Structures are given as C-alpha cells and as structure tokens.
Amino acid sequence: MTLDNIPRHVAIIMDGNGRWARQRGLNRIFGHRQGAESVRECCKQALVYGVEYLSLFAFSEENWGRPKEEVDALMSLMLDSLINEKKLFLDNDIRFRVIGKTDGVPEEIIRGIGELEEATKDFKTMTLLVFFNYSGKWDIVQAASAYAASVAEAVRAGENPPALDRGDFDGLLATSGVPDPDLLIRTSGEKRLSNFMLWQCAYTEFYFTDVFWPDFREKEWASALESYSNRERRYGKIK
C-alpha cells in the first residue's frame, strides 16, 4: 500500500488487555502478556512505515490503584521487556526512552531503564518512548514548577524573570525535544485521552478502533495509517 503521508510521531493508548483475556476465560495478566507481544509487533510496523517517534502509554500514574497482583505483573513485564527487547533495539537502530516519574518504581527497573537508554542513545532510525508511571497533568505541573523555580532564582539574583512562550514551555515538559504526536491511536472502543500527553495532543489526529490491544497487529496498523493519510490537517486555519 502506498500512503500519501506517514505520521512522524504515532502515540498509542494500548487498551483492552483485560477484556481480551476475559473473553477467553483467562486471567487479566495473560492479556497484558499478549499485549507485550503487540508492543514488539508495533515497533516492527512503525519501522516498516518509517515512523520516527513511537509513543506507548504502558503504565499511568492512576494504574497504581489496580490490585497489587496486577501492578506487580505489569512491573515484571516491564523488567522482562527491558531485557528481552534489547536485541530488537540494537538490531534496528531504535533509541529507547522512558517518560514518567521514578517515584514508586522498583530500583531494578530504574536501573534497567537507565542502562537501555544509555545503550541506545545514539540510535537514529526511530525513537521508542515508553510512558511509564506517567500522567499528562503531572507533566504540566512539573514543567510549571520548573518555570516557577527559575523565576524565583531570577528574583533572588535581582534579574528579570525568564520569558515563557509555548515553545519555552514545550522545552520544560518531560517530552522536551520530541515533536508533538501527529496521530494518536486508542484501541478497545474507548474514546478518551485518559491523562495522556494533554499539552502535546493539542492538534493531534485521533484514531479509535474497537480492536483490543493484544489483537492490534499489521492489518490494524495499515487501517490506522490509511485513515490518517486521508485527513486534512488545518491547525485552525482554512485551506
């Protein structure tokens, strides 16, 4: 399939692991495991299409409220992925980055993330951003706090407070340096942003599908990108 335009940055809210498992009479955790397979497939598809940035919402700040057994399983999956997927990143020139708070995240995961980020920091073909222990409101608050601290510092030094425009604020967010998402995909029929990249999605195109995340594979990628290629992005202007 030839497409007119490929999104530079695709962001995905991977939803429906639990329902996928329940439909099969399986434990929710099995659904997350199958979801991790879709993550690998998703990286491969993004490479096939030449997507430069792929952002995946893997664990939200709110997910701590799930039963301990499920939270532990998601932490183990993250740890396993850091080890098992290293080869995929090294073989395919994929830069790996994690966006989110470190508070509450097990030490061995923080260490594993740091090592994988370091090992892939010069890779250029694609950047995979895994949003882990992340929320959009947290990101906006931490950016505002950083700005407030710089104002306080200037006042203390008897200088003018630093200016702040949209671009400056972009630079204070945890996604600093990453272009805003062009396309946001959410699976499983839910149509919400759920505290994902609130600031960054101001002009993002949304694509919703009823397919559960563990079933989101090659065919679904093609449908999402085909839909995007037919969109006319006007950014509030007239064309």
Residue nearest to ligand FPP (CB): 18
| 160 assigned to active site | no
Site for ligand FPP in 171-200 (CB under 6 A): 188
CB of 135 to ligand FPP, least distance (A): 13
- Side by side, the strands of the sheet bearing 53-60 are 94-99, 126-134, 53-60, 9-13, 183-186, 205-208
Structure tokens at 126: 């694609």
| 63 assigned to active site | yes
The single residue among 29, 58, 73, 109 that binds ligand FPP, judged by CB under 6 A, is 58
CB of 193 closer than 8 Å to CB of 207: no
Q: Which stretch binds ligand FPP (CB under 6 A): 32-40, 100-108, 109-117, 195-203?
A: 32-40
Query: What is the x/- site pattern for ligand FPP, positions 121-150, by CB under 6 A?
Result: ------------------------------
25 is in an annotated binding site: no
Structure tokens at 178: 């990453």
The CA-atom distances, in angstroms, between 157 and each of 95, 143, 145 are: 39, 21, 18
The single residue among 213, 216, 221, 228 that binds ligand FPP, judged by CB under 6 A, is 213
Per annotation, catalytic residue among 4, 5, 27, 63: 63
Per annotation, catalytic residue among 15, 133, 139, 182: 15
Q: Which stretch binds ligand FPP (CB under 6 A): 33-41, 94-102, 200-208, 221-229?
A: 33-41
Residue numbers annotated as active site: 15, 63
Binding footprint of ligand FPP on the chain (CB under 6 A): 14-19, 32, 35-36, 39, 58-59, 63, 74, 77-78, 81, 188, 213
Annotated binding site: 15-20, 28, 32, 60-62, 64, 66, 186, 192-194, 205
